[in-house]
Structure 1
Amino acid sequence: MKKSLLVLPALLSFALTACAGTDVTSKSDNNPAASKGDGKPAKAQGARATVGDTITLAGNESGLKLEVTVVKVVPSARPKDEFSTPEPGKRFAAVQIRLKNVGSVTYDDSPGNGAQLIDTEDQQYDEDLNDISLGTSIGTSVKLAPGSSRKGYLVFSVLKKARLSKFQFSLDSGFGPQTGEWLLK
């Protein structure tokens, strides 16, 4: 009886932690009040993040904070070589991201583990770990000291007929407390 009373608080604590959830944000860090000086009009207040926008995400560790920018989306990307091909009925799609450590601790993670591509049919695709001819992959392992940044492609194997809709990214291999979401339309 005593053992079950000791185990009960631990189980309850675990259950409450597991239910804490993740905050999904699509609010861009980009200043809506002023133009970027690139000839494009400023974003309206509350506008959802799109390609080119930055979202700052926190990690589970105190002081872990990254600015994540979706730089470019390639709906149909060619493989780097003849050995890296998508399965029949699929194609490679790629999202180029830039990560900048604006926190006070080192970021050490595999960005591809926390990345998902979503199509207009609400189907979700995980990173595929293939290389494309456009440039370097960023998916496997990144270590960023505070103030450092890195840029590269995350590659996904998607259905040939899929129309890309959203990109989501979380720190801590997808288990971070926040998820950024960018519209790709």
Structure 2
Amino acid sequence: MKKSLLVLPALLSFALTACTGTEVTSNPDDKPAASKGQEPPPKAQGARARIGDTITLNSGEDGLKLEVTVVKAVSSAKPKDEFNVPEPGHRFVAVQIRLKNVGSTTYDDSPGNGAHLIDDEDQQYDEALSEIALGASIGTSVKLAPGSSRKGYLVFSVPKKTKLSKFQFTLDSGFGPQVGEWLLR
């Protein structure tokens, strides 16, 4: 009986945390002005983030906030070597991202856990953990002190005829309170 009384508060806490919901945002941050004294041009109402745009995401952890930029997307990336190849009928897609810790707490996570590609039929693809010839992976374990940044590729294996539509990224290994969403075309 005593054990069940101790477990009950933990279960209630978990249930309340899980029910708070997740916000999907596709609103890019305002870009800095080109020169001193100039205001950045205002974003059009309802503008959607695209390749090159930055979205600032909050974590469920107090003080953790990252600026996430989709630097580029490559629709058919060559494998790094003959051992890292997509399965038959598939191709590698690579999304290069830049993470910058603009919060007050260290970021310590695996970025691929919170990354997804979505095609034009609303099907979702997870990271493939493969290496490509284009450049370095962002890594499976990234630690960023406040003010630090990291750039690298996330690789996905998708069917060859798939038309990609969006890239999504979430902090906290995919369990964060916000999901950033970028259009890929």
Question: TM-score scaled by structure 1?
Answer: 0.88
1:165–1:139 CA distance, 2 compared to 1 (3 A): farther
1:61–1:89 CA distance, 2 compared to 1 (3 A): same
- Give matches, 1:7-26, under 5 Å: 10-26=10-26
> Any idea what the Cα deviations from partners look like across 1:22-58, whole Å, max 9, x if unmatched?
1110010024xx8758xxx874233010000000001
Q: Which residue of the partner structure matches residue 73 of structure 2?
A: 73
Q: Which residue of the partner structure matches residue 158 of structure 1?
A: 158
Asked if 2 retains the 8 angstrom alpha-carbon contact of 1:168 and 1:182, the reply is yes
> Any idea what the Cα deviations from partners look like across 1:106-127, whole Å, max 9, x if unmatched?
1111100110000101110000
User: How large is the RMSD of aligned CA atoms in angstroms?
Assistant: 2.1
- Give matches, 1:112-127, under 5 Å: 112-127=112-127
Q: Which residue of the partner structure matches residue 167 of structure 2?
A: 167
Pairs aligned (count):
180
- Identical pairs, percent: 79
Asked if 2 retains the 8 angstrom alpha-carbon contact of 1:36 and 1:42, the reply is no
Q: Which residue of the partner structure matches residue 129 of structure 2?
A: 129
Structure-2 separation of matches of 1:126 and 1:17: 24
Asked if 2 retains the 8 angstrom alpha-carbon contact of 1:127 and 1:156, the reply is yes
- Give matches, 1:4-83, under 5 Å: 10-31=10-31, 43-83=43-83
Asked if 2 retains the 8 angstrom alpha-carbon contact of 1:50 and 1:182, the reply is yes
Instruction: Give the SS at the match of 1:140.
Output: coil
Q: Match of 1:70, as an amino acid?
A: V
Structure-2 separation of matches of 1:45 and 1:17: 32
Q: Match of 1:183, as an amino acid?
A: L
Question: TM-score scaled by structure 2?
Answer: 0.88
Of residues 7-16 and 138-147 in structure 1, the stretch that sits farther from structure 2 once superposed is 7-16
Q: Match of 2:17, as an amino acid?
A: T
Structure-2 separation of matches of 1:107 and 1:89: 36
- Segments of structure 1 that go 5 or more residues without pairing to the other structure are none
Q: Which residue of the partner structure matches residue 86 of structure 2?
A: 86
Deviation at 1:139, TM superposition (A): 3.8
Q: Match of 2:74, as an amino acid?
A: V
Of residues 14-23 and 158-167 in structure 1, the stretch that sits farther from structure 2 once superposed is 14-23
